Amino acid sequence: MNTNQHTDKKEIILTGDRATGPLHLGHYVGSLKQRVALQNSHEQTILVADMQGLTDNAHDPKKVSSNILNVVADYLAVGIDPTKTTICLQSQLPALAELTMYYSNLVSISRLERNPTVKSEIQSKGFERSIPAGFLTYPISQAADITAFNASLVPVGDDQLPMLEQTNEIVRKINSLARRHILNECRPLLSKASRLPSTDGKNKMSKSMGNAINLGATEKEISAAVKSMYTDPNHIRVEDAGNVEGNVVFTYLDAFHPDESYISELKDHYQRGGLGDGTTKKILETCLQEMLKPIREKRSELLNDKAQLLDILAKGSQISREKTAQVLSDVKDVFGLNIF
Ligand code: TRP
């Protein structure tokens, strides 16, 4: 049971992103926008997950280390305010690694192998039989991230639901071993557009697949991405009736265009025939260019002052070390290991 739910105590939010590349529009609609709104009403921590990033990139650690500040700049550029939200670096919080070790004893290998997100990542990354142990067990480390802050709300995309399920299984095991309530169960906060398709319409938008529009994308990149977007392959001539289902241009217009009734008229027109893909793409491009310009500018300004970004991350990590000490001590207590 979530003990915060029926009290007026500020609910704790913990969320994070792997530092394996700059963040993109999928992150923006999936969770960044919500985090910006929630920072006013909740106690929010965002974790730059560098250790989780290494679970499948240990052969290329620079891919992770070189993206840490990009991710911090992405947060600040979309409006996350470090005076309201604590931004911390996973590898700077030893309590997370310690909790991971304790929790590892409560989770079977077969349970990890059944996690659908991990399963599909193993396939898409082509690990076959040589899965790094750290990769297979990252859901345990993610449970450590969430529970160390005793978070009850996690704004994430829907691919992360299996991680929250595994987190809650661990929470129940710890509480039952302790015979008292130590850890809160968590629940996801999904946005209504929780999964943005890639521009080719084949997958979800992904840092690793090269089919994403990054928050720092240049004007040219935005324009090229919109021009190449998947629409309705049967909508050949302008006067043909077109399909808006699965048409990536309309999915993006739904996610990003502020005027819903205009988009609904546009859909009617497209379905009746007489509206070309060139026109719908132009409308989308204008909308994305306007939205991303201030983000891109803020982001590049921030990246010009790396010392300031490092300072934000160092201060947030210090605060987080203090916040996570209690749960680590409680969990060690469950195992009878607070012996000094
Ligand atoms: N798994 C998340 C991702 O793929 C990153 C992450 C790490 C996370 N720890 C977390 C998300 C804790 C939510 C809560 O980007």
117 or 204, greater pLDDT? 117
* Residues 6+ away with beta carbon under 8 Å from 321: 92, 93, 94, 95
CATH 1.10.240.10 intervals, the chain: 219-299
Strands 12-18 and 85-89: unpaired
Cβ 90 under 6 angstroms from ligand 1: no
Mean pLDDT for 12-41 is 93
pLDDT at 272 over 80: yes
76 CA distance to ligand 1 middle (Å): 18
E strands present in the chain: 12-18, 43-49, 85-89, 153-155, 187-189
Cβ 142 under 6 angstroms from ligand 1: yes
The CA-CA-CA angle for residues 54, 141, 43, to 5°, reads 110
pLDDT at 12 over 50: yes
174 or 1, greater pLDDT? 174
**The total number of residues written for the chain in this structure:** 340
Round to whole Å and give the CA distance between 38 and 32: 10
* Token code pair at residue 127: 């690990």
Mean pLDDT for 55-70 is 97
User: Alpha carbon of 182 to those of 10, 123, 238: distances in Å?
Assistant: 18, 36, 62
Residue percentage of the chain with pLDDT more than 90: 85
Q: Whose CA is nearest to atom 5 of ligand 1?
A: 17
For 152, counting Cβ atoms within 10 Å of its Cβ (0-12 exposed, 13-18 middle, 19+ buried), the class is buried
What's the predicted TM-score (pTM) here? Answer: 0.92
* CATH C-level class of 12-197+306-334: alpha beta
31 CA distance to ligand 1 middle (Å): 11
Mean pLDDT for 76-97 is 98
CATH 3.40.50.620 intervals, the chain: 12-197+306-334
Q: What is the pLDDT of residue 9?
A: 55
* Token code pair at residue 289: 């260019």
Round to whole Å and give the CA distance between 177 and 42: 30
Mean pLDDT for 194-207 is 78
Mean of the per-residue pLDDT values of the chain: 93
The CATH number of the domain covering residues in 219-299: 1.10.240.10
**AA identity, residue 64:** V
Query: Which atom in ligand 1 lies closest to the alpha carbon of residue 142?
Result: 9
Phi, psi of 107, rounded to the nearest 5 degrees = -125, 130
Q: What is the pLDDT of residue 127?
A: 86
Cβ 148 under 6 angstroms from ligand 1: no
Cβ 18 under 6 angstroms from ligand 1: yes
Round to whole Å and give the CA distance between 143 and 320: 16
Mean pLDDT for 285-303 is 98
Question: 198: which DSSP letter?
Answer: P
Round to whole Å and give the CA distance between 252 and 203: 14
Q: What is the pLDDT of residue 2?
A: 43
231 CA distance to ligand 1 middle (Å): 31
pLDDT at 1 over 70: no
317 CA distance to ligand 1 middle (Å): 16
* Residues 6+ away with beta carbon under 8 Å from 45: 12, 13, 14, 15, 85, 86, 87, 88, 149, 151, 316, 320, 323
Name the β-bridge partners of 154. 188
Round to whole Å and give the CA distance between 305 and 233: 46
Q: What is the pLDDT of residue 203?
A: 75
pLDDT at 303 over 50: yes
* Token code pair at residue 102: 């304790």
* Token code pair at residue 101: 């070790």
Q: What is the pLDDT of residue 190?
A: 85
pLDDT bracket for residue 3 (50, 70, 90): very low
The CA-CA-CA angle for residues 32, 186, 324, to 5°, reads 85
User: Alpha carbon of 111 to those of 28, 148, 166, 187, 328: distances in Å?
Assistant: 31, 22, 9, 20, 24
Cβ 16 under 6 angstroms from ligand 1: yes
162 CA distance to ligand 1 middle (Å): 11
Angle between helices 277-303 and 219-227 (to 10 degrees): 150
pLDDT at 35 over 90: yes
Mean pLDDT for 121-136 is 90
Q: What is the pLDDT of residue 210?
A: 66
